[in-house]
A = this chain, B = another copy of it.
Amino acid sequence: MDRVEWLTPEQLRAWIRFESVVELLPAVLDSQLHRDAQLTHFEYLVMAKLSESPDHVLRMTALAATTNSTLPRLSHVVSRLEARGYVERVPCPSDRRATNAHLTESGWAKVVESAPGHLRTVREHVIDLLTDEQVGQLDDIMAVLIQKLDPENSLRRLP
């Protein structure tokens, strides 16, 4: 292994803090949703993305992309959501390999019901703690990191 330059104290401190947030934040989001809506954060995300899409339908591949997920993972989650009546699978007419995931009425209602609580959590733990300027800085920084993490920009729908 080649030599790597060590971090400066400022860089190290920033990294340790960032690392901690990355570790702790998902647990907060997960637990709020699980407590208030019996949903995983990822389950919520899947339904939320469906709800933003025309006709509440997305192909599995597209849905996997927007949720930063893999197909196997998504498939399992959709099966769970299907069992609870929130989502249904519909064969894609134009490509018979493909499957469309469709948010049911019940699923839509679930999203509408649980969105405010989730939003509140996001506000309480992130957005409302920062100044507008900091939100802008966060946006810029995360844009740079995403570019590296997800070079192909498979995440569409960035407003």
- Spell out A's residues near B (CB within 8 Å): 1-7, 9-18, 20-26, 28, 68, 113, 116-117, 119-120, 122-127, 129-130, 132, 134-150, 155, 158-159
Query: In the complex, which of the residues B116, B125, B142 contacts A2, with contact meaning CB atoms closer than 8 Å?
Result: B116
Question: What is the predominant secondary structure among interface residues of chain A facing chain B?
Answer: helix
Tallying the copies of this chain within the complex gives 2
Interface centre among A134, A142, A144 (most CB of B within 10 A): A142
A16 CB contacts on chain B under 8 angstroms: 158-159
> In the complex, are the beta carbons of B18 and A26 less than 8 A apart?
no
> In the complex, are the beta carbons of B139 and A28 less than 8 A apart?
no
Query: In the complex, which of the residues B3, B26, B119, B134 contacts A7, with contact meaning CB atoms closer than 8 Å?
Result: B119
C-alpha gap A10/B127 in the complex (Å): 11
> In the complex, are the beta carbons of B150 and A1 less than 8 A apart?
no
A3 CB contacts on chain B under 8 angstroms: 116
A6 CB contacts on chain B under 8 angstroms: 119
Question: What are 13 of the A-B contact pairs (CB < 8 Å)?
Answer: A1-B117, A4-B119, A9-B159, A10-B132, A12-B159, A16-B159, A17-B138, A20-B149, A21-B149, A24-B155, A129-B145, A129-B147, A129-B148
